[in-house]
Chains A and B, each alone.
Chain A
Amino acid sequence: MSKPDSKASQAPVETAKRQVQNYIYRYGKEGWWPYAPGQTASTEATAWCALSLSEKDPLRLKALDYLVRSQNQDGGWPTGPAEGKSDWCTGPALFALRTVAESHPSKQATAAYEKGAAFLSELPTELYNLAARMLLGAVQGVKETEESARGWPWSRGCYHWVEPTSYNLYAFKIPERTRYKGGFNQMILRANKFLLENTCSVGGWNHGSHFSLGTNLPPYIVTTAEALLALQDFSDHKEIGRAFDFLDANSEAAEAGQKNSAMGLAWMTLAYHAYGRDTAKTLTKLISIQKEDGSFGPNMMVTALASMALNTTDAVNPFKMKTGNGKPGSKTGDSKTESDTGNSKSHSDKEPA
């Protein structure tokens, strides 16, 4: 959302932006950030903080350097330096690395992205062993088996979830579908499908499935906004509209509570902006809960997200997909096909072009 669309007063917005940027600067002078002041480096916090800085900020380059240096041999990232095997933090790290490297291209960054992308391509949840998959293929068809919905886990060998799937899709789809070698199309297709098949009965996303033991599970604001950002290339899909209905209802309903948390408001603002929707309400609320020190609470990741949400008033949103005419999923500039969901008939009212 650009300035003219925002009803939030510009003076408080500019002050809020300046204060939050100062806060982020204060704790990231070395190019990395902790989750909370005084702690050791966090891959995830570093990724979101790096994305919150302006494109030409030299600290961004330092962050890029940190991300390249802290990559594990296997191509992934652990939650912090020397903190074990690569984990879900690979998604945010790879997304940040790719975005920052756009304005600071280097061979090292390209190599790091390719290694990271290769790591993620090996990681999606596999629910069955090879023998079972072969049998399943024989029963329901190889194509259907190979294109069945699969997202990414938090840790290798675990089940798939909305949040890591969304983060990893950012790394492959934002600002546009990755052109790096590796043939990630099927993986992206299956992940899209996983998200689109797991929406809640009232719209939006829980963090895993939408149904449990005879009970419909409720959607959450954060996971819904995160998944929406991952699915901008399906803006005409009915599930996108239902998800926004859920977010809108929470934006209106004072008793819902979560909308008043900085994390919820920041993700909502970023999602609204990415889809060209009005961000005034969420931005106004977000600004109203900024702390005196410029932060949005003790979690640096949340402060970085809030900073990015505030930056949408300058039409800057690192989560926004490039789609040609400003409308996510629009025909212009969007090279996706209906096969991107893997199931054009059952999941979409209107497939992307």
Chain B
Amino acid sequence: MDHKKNYPCKYSAMKHAQQSAVPQTSSQVSDSTTSEHKIKRRDFLVSAAGAVTAVALGGCGGPKLNVDLQEATPAQLARKKQGRSTVGILPCPSYEEDIFKAVKPFLKSLDLPDLTNKTVVIKPNMVEFHPISPITTNPAAILAAVELANYLGAREIIIGEGPGHMRDTEFLLEASGIGAMCKKHKLRYVDLNLDDLEKVENVDGFTKMKEIYLPKTIMEADAVISVPKMKTHHWVGMTASMKNLFGTVPGRKYGWPKNILHINGIPHSILDLVHMIKPQIGFVDGIIAMEGDGPIMGTAKPMGFMVLGSDLAAVDATCARTMEIPIERLLYLRMAGKVIGNTDESQIDIKGEQIASVKKEFEMPITYQDKKLMVQANKGAG
């Protein structure tokens, strides 16, 4: 999701406020040249007001993109998964391969949940579409997730997504190829943006939202499998199986994008959604990932594997390591290691490929590299 564009006028207004603190044109200067002393005094006053304003604006509140994540409460800490976690880095060189066939040999070693007779929602990422950017989960990866759910015993499988940017779901389904895949395999697709709603209490949440409306399809499902695209993310560093849950939040209530999640803090919202939805499996499309100005405007980064596991914190931490992003730079993931599951490498058993043999340095978004921009972003000014 491109969060920079979420705050267009705040940014321009601040810039404007700062620019307005000094004369903009020579005519403005010549208009007040009757006394040099007066000019200086006026400039001083205007500049001082501008500086005060800038400080005031900086502190006037804004979305908590990457800041203010307080220490977890005992109740939040108590939710963390106990014991070790297992994550598979499963080699799949391309989408032309039979992905499920490639991952199947590893499944017994991954400690995946039994889905016998369960209704399973597979949640891909279909946030937006551009022909040359690998934004959405590849249909072949989604099909592999369907086969995985079948293998684990699912009775009913639903593909559910609530695209975060575009209202035109039919276009996204067609353009991404996900619609054709669903049709070919007779899979039911539910637009989570428009589904009937259920009010869910956000007990011991990180956001201030006491309740949130979520799609009935998600809340009534026995299990949710998060099937995202592995991407850099210019506000929170990286997006994988946990951040993907933003797409479960219904546009019919919160809009396109689901801006309320940004206002309440992206890290906070990620953690709350994981706790409310309790996804049982993360299955990350890393065959072709995205680097640079992700999650929308980045470029393709072929990695050649899927990442699979039942502890989403461990799955995402493993993704981060293969992308050579330090966990400590990913605020929500650092906290996820305390309240959701394992992010510590020593607590995660890796199956399939080892991190050292597949990891590649990802070009990071400009907000990640430019501290000033990140500070601006954290203030909600960017």
Residues of A within 8 A of B (CB): 35-36, 39-40, 42, 44, 78-80, 83-84, 87-89, 125, 127-129, 131-132, 135-136, 138-140, 148-150, 153-155, 157-161, 163-164, 194, 197-198, 206-215, 217-218, 220-222, 255, 257-258, 260-264, 297-299, 301-302
Chain B interface residue bracket vs A: 35 or more
How far is it, in angstroms, between the C-alpha of A163 and the C-alpha of B259 when the chains are bound? Answer: 13
- Which parts of B17-34 form the interface with A (CB within 8 Å)? 17, 20-21
| B256 and A154 contacting across the interface, CB-CB below 8 Å | yes
Complex Cα distance A258/B175, Å?
A: 8
Contact B259 A158 (CB under 8 A): yes
By a CB distance below 8 angstroms, the chain A residues around B4 are: 209, 212-213
Assess A222 versus B166: contact at CB under 8 Å? Given A135-B52, A140-B16: yes
Return A242 CB to nearest CB of chain B, in Å: 18
Q: Which of A87, A128, A154, A157 contacts B57 (CB 8 A)?
A: A128
With both chains docked as a complex, state the minimum distance between the C-beta of A121 and any C-beta of chain B, in angstroms: 19
Interface residue from A36, A198, A261 paired with B170 (Cβ < 8 Å):
A261
User: What residues of chain A lie closer than 8 Å to B129, measured between beta carbons?
Assistant: 257
CB distance from B64 to the nearest CB of A (A): 13
Is B334 at the interface (CB under 8 A from chain A)?
no
Tell me the bound Cα distance from A80 to B129 in angstroms: 29
A213's nearest neighbour on chain B, judged by CB, is B4
Q: How far is the CB of B69 from chain A (nearest CB, A)?
A: 20
Name the B residues within 8 Å of A36 (CB-CB). Answer: 191, 194
Residues of chain A with a CB closer than 8 A to B168's CB: 220-222, 258, 261, 263-264
Q: List 7 A-B contacts (CB under 8 A).
A: A135-B52, A207-B257, A208-B6, A211-B5, A213-B234, A213-B367, A214-B366
- A161 contacts B255, C-beta separation under 8 Å: yes
Assuming the contacts A128-B60, A222-B167, A261-B171, asked whether A163 and B53 have C-beta atoms less than 8 A apart, the reply is: no
Query: Is B78 close to A, CB under 8 A?
Result: no
Pairs A-B, 6 closest by C-beta atoms: A154-B255, A209-B8, A212-B4, A261-B171, A35-B194, A209-B5
A84 in contact with B49 given A39-B196, A140-B20, A198-B8 (CB within 8 Å): no
With a cutoff of 8 Å between Cβ atoms, the chain A residues found around residue B165 in the complex are 207
Decide yes or no: A263 and B170 within 8 Å by CB, A35-B252, A138-B49, A208-B8 being known contacts. yes
Determine whether the beta carbon of B17 is less than 8 Å from that of A140.
yes
List chain B residues, Cβ under 8 A from A157.
260, 263
Complex contacts, A40 vs chain B, CB 8 Å: 196
Taking the complex as formed, is B356 at the interface, i.e. its CB lies under 8 A from any CB of chain A?
no
A163 touching B49 in the complex, CB below 8 Å, given contacts A198-B8, A258-B171, A261-B171: no
20 further A-B contacts with Cβ under 8 Å, apart from A135-B49, A140-B16, A161-B259, are A35-B191, A35-B195, A39-B194, A39-B196, A40-B196, A78-B253, A129-B60, A132-B53, A139-B20, A139-B46, A158-B263, A159-B6, A161-B255, A198-B8, A212-B297, A213-B4, A218-B130, A255-B131, A257-B171, A297-B170
B208 to chain A, nearest CB (A): 11
Interface residues of B in 164-181 (CB under 8 A from A): 165-171, 174-175
Q: How far is the CA of A160 from the CA of B366 in the complex (A)?
A: 24
B-side contacts of A197, CB under 8 Å: 9, 12
The A-contacting residues of B in range 209-233, CB under 8 angstroms, are 211, 213
